[in-house]
């Protein structure tokens, strides 16, 4: 059975993901650290200790082939791809073998700019359109996995 795992620390689409998982009969698991602890009806919650990448390591150890992972983290997305999972960001972009290297390189470049004292723009304010695009992408991915 397909599971949807959510990197739930600061994830803006938890409610939508749980609802869609229920529609498709998929198991839904929230993974968060002790500073972002949350419990939601329709999902299991795994709480991990605070620490750099603690949630990521628990999540990547649980993901199975064809599971869906909702995350904003490019590094985690790359590890999910290596395990034949389907990482999706909060705006509905599916991370793939075709785009992950470019995203990781852009992250690396931005990190170098920040370390040199430079500043970069933050993400745009979240919109209703972003939520709708996410829902559309997640539903499409779920439907494809059901047909497999």
Question: In this prediction, what percent of the chain has a pLDDT beyond 70?
Answer: 91
pTM of the model as a whole: 0.87
- Average pLDDT over all residues of the chain: 90
Q: Is 1's pLDDT higher than 80?
A: yes
Q: What is the pLDDT of residue 36?
A: 87
- Residue range 98-139, pLDDT digits in tens: 887 787 667 566 676 677 787 767 667 788 999 999 999 999
> Which ranges of 83-127 does DSSP label H, i.e. alpha helix?
100-115
Q: What is the pLDDT of residue 133?
A: 96
CA 110 from centre of chain: 20
Confidence of residue 65 (pLDDT cuts 50, 70, 90): very high
Of 28, 26, 30, nearest in space to 39 by CA: 30
Which secondary-structure segment (H or E) carries 129? helix 128-147
């Amino acid at each position: 059975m397909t599971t949807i795992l959510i990197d739930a620390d600061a994830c803006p689409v938890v409610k939508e993901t749980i609802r869609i998982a229920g529609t498709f009969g998929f198991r839904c698991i929230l993974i968060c650290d002790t500073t972002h602890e949350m419990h939601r009806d329709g999902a299991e919650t795994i709480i991990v200790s605070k620490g750099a990448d603690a949630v990521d390591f628990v999540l990547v150890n649980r993901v199975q082939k064809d599971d869906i992972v909702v995350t904003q983290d490019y590094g985690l997305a790359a590890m999910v791809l290596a395990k034949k999972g389907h990482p999706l960001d909060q705006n509905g972009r599916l991370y793939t073998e075709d785009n992950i290297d470019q995203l990781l390189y852009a992250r690396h470049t931005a990190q170098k700019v920040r370390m040199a004292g430079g500043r970069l723009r933050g993400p745009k304010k979240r919109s209703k359109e972003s939520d709708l695009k996410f829902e559309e992408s997640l539903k499409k991915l779920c439907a494809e996995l059901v047909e497999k």
